[in-house]
Amino acid sequence: MSGHGTPIPMSSHASKGLKGQADVPGDKSISHRSLILGAMCVGETTITGLLEGEDVLDTAKAMRAMGADITRDEDGTWHVYGVGVGGFAEPDQVIDCGNSGTGVRLIMGAMATSPIAATFTGDASLNKRPMARVTDPLALFGAQTVGRSGGRLPMTVIGAQDPIPVRYEVPVPSAQVKSAVLLAGLNAPGQTIVTEREATRDHSERMLAGFGAEISTEVTNECRIITLTGRPELKPQSIAVPRDPSSAAFPVCAALITEGSDVLVPNIGLNPTRAGLFTTLREMGADLTYENEREEGGEPVADLRARFSPDMKGIEVPPDRAASMIDEYPVLSVVAAFAEGQTMMRGVKELRVKESDRIDAMATGLRACGVTVEEGEDWWSVEGRGIGGVQGGATCASHLDHRIAMSFMVLGLATTKPVTVDDGSPIATSFPIFEDLMGSLGADIRRD
C-alpha cells in the first residue's frame, strides 16, 4: 500500500556505538499552527525552523489556496502574509492534505466559520480516518459538511454564513479537535468555550495568546476549560519553531537500546503536554538526562543526552499520561522489547485511529520479530526480552504511517537479524532527514 509514490523498502541492521549530535527538525504541531495562524492575521508573520515535511508543506499549499501569500527564503525563513480572521478566499481546487490529520482537521476548523466552501481529500490513510469528531462541533457553529459514509474524506465543508459561538466538551482526548473548535471560534462573535477532561497538547492556546487573541484556561480537578473571545484582530508574529520532541524520540530510543551509544539531542521542547515519553523512559531506568535546562519562548527546553541503557525494566505506564506521549507509544514498544519484564500501556484506544491502527501495526511486526505482545481495544502489553534477546528477521508493514516505519527501523538496530519495512516513504511526512541523521550517528539503515 502506498500513497506517497513508489514504495521505498528499507532495512535496519545491528549497529553499535551511536555517537554524536542529532539535530531533529522543527515541531510538526507548531509548524502547522504557525502557517494557519499566520494566514489568519493581516500582515507578515515570519517563521524560522519550520518543519519542511510533506504534512506541513501540504498545509502551506492549502493556506495559499485560501488566499494567503506564503514565500520561503533560501535560508529557510518562511513569510506568511495573511488574510485576517474571516478573510479566507474560496479555494478553486480540492485541498489535498496528504497524510495529515492535523492539517485537515485544523484547516476545516479555521475555515468553518467563513462564508466559503472547500473540499478536502487525502491519501489512502487519511481518507480512512474519522472526521465526525471535528464535523460534529463545527456543525454547532453553523457549518455544513458532506462527506463519504462514516464521516470520511473526501468531504466538502460549507462554512457558516452567520457563525454562532459554541460551548463544547471534547469527547475524546484530542488536541486536533480542541484546536479545530478554537480556530472556528476565532470568527464567531462572542465567547467559544471548550472543555477537555484530559489535558492534550496546548500549543493552540499558547500560540493564540501569542498572536493577541483573548484566551484563558481554567484548570479544575476534573477538566480544563478554555475560553476564547471571537473576532480578535490577530497580530502577525515572528516565530522560532522549537525542535520536535516526537522526532527526538527516535534517536533517543535508538541510543538507549544500542550498545555503546551516547547521543545528544539538543533544543528539545519539554512542554509537559508533550514530554510523557521521556518521563516514562526515565522511570524504566533509561540513562536519559536533561542538560542545559532553560525556558525559550515560554516553553521549557533542554538538551537531551541518551546513553545505552542495558538495565531498563518494564513498567505500567499511567493511563493519564497517554495524551502527553500519544505519538510515542510505537517507539516505546520497541524500547519495551529490550527491557526486562512487562510494559503495560492502558488508556490508549486513540492509537487505533492514527495514521494507522498503531497497536495492530506494532503488535504484528513485533510478534514477527519474536516479541510477545498482547492487546485489547484500549490497552496493549509488551514482554521485554532484554538487550540481545530480540531476534528480528521480519518484514514489517508500515501502513502509510511514518512513526511505524521509523519505529521498526529503530528496532532493527538492536535485533540479531535485520528488520525490514515494506515502505519507508511516509517518513518524509514528518522527518525528511531521518535516514541521513541516523546514518550520521552510525545507524546502519539502508534502502533495499
Any binding-site annotation on 305?
A: no
Contact present, 10 and 445 (Cβ < 8 Å): yes
Q: Is 125 in the site for ligand S3P (CB under 6 A)?
A: no
The sign of the torsion formed by the CA atoms of 75, 24, 63, 148 equals positive
Distance in Å, CB of 155 to ligand S3P, minimum: 17
Any binding-site annotation on 327?
A: yes
Any binding-site annotation on 436?
A: no
Among 327, 328, 383, 435, binds ligand S3P (CB under 6 A): 327
The sign of the torsion formed by the CA atoms of 36, 37, 40, 46 equals negative
Distance in Å, CB of 176 to ligand S3P, minimum: 3
Instruction: Specify the residue, 61 or 354, whose C-beta has the smaller distance to ligand S3P.
Output: 354
| Residue closest to 4 by CA, chosen among 447, 425, 429 | 425
Any binding-site annotation on 28?
A: yes
Contacting residues for 165 by C-beta, under 8 A, at least 6 apart:
141, 185, 188, 189, 190, 191, 192, 230
Q: Is 350 in the site for ligand S3P (CB under 6 A)?
A: yes
Q: Is 194 in the site for ligand S3P (CB under 6 A)?
A: no
Among 45, 102, 125, 271, binds ligand S3P (CB under 6 A): 102
Residue 435 in grid coordinates: 535516514
- The cell 508533550 sits on which residue? 274
Name residues contacting ligand S3P, limited to 198-257 (CB under 6 A): 201
**Cross-strand bridge partners of residue 240:** 48
Is 92 considered catalytic here? Answer: no
CA 367 to chain centre: 25
Distance in Å, CB of 2 to ligand S3P, minimum: 21
Amino acid found at 197: R
| DSSP secondary structure, 133-159, as one string | HHHHHHHHTT-EEEEETTTEEEEEEE-
> What string marks each residue from 20 to 59 as x (binds ligand S3P by CB under 6 A) or -?
---------x------------------------------
Any binding-site annotation on 101?
A: yes
Any binding-site annotation on 148?
A: no
Distance in Å, CB of 193 to ligand S3P, minimum: 19
Contact present, 119 and 94 (Cβ < 8 Å): yes
Q: Which contiguous run of DSSP H or E holds residue 435?
A: helix 434-441
The one catalytic residue among 244, 327, 422, 423: 327
Per-residue burial over 201-224, b = 16 or more CB atoms within 10 Å of its CB, e = otherwise: bbbbbbbbebbebebebeeeeeeb
- The cell 473526501 sits on which residue? 154
Q: Is 174 in the site for ligand S3P (CB under 6 A)?
A: yes
Q: Is 271 in the site for ligand S3P (CB under 6 A)?
A: no
Distance in Å, CB of 395 to ligand S3P, minimum: 26
Q: How far apart are the first and last CA of the chain?
A: 17
Distance in Å, CB of 100 to ligand S3P, minimum: 9
The region of 35-43, 90-98, 174-182, 230-238 touching ligand S3P under the rule CB under 6 A is: 174-182
Q: Is 326 in the site for ligand S3P (CB under 6 A)?
A: yes
| Residue list, annotated binding site for phosphoenolpyruvate | 28, 101, 129, 176, 358, 403
Interface ranges with ligand S3P (CB under 6 A): 29, 102, 174-176, 179, 201, 326-327, 350, 354
| Residue list, annotated binding site for 3-phosphoshikimate | 28-29, 33, 174, 176, 327, 354
Catalogue the active-site residues: 327
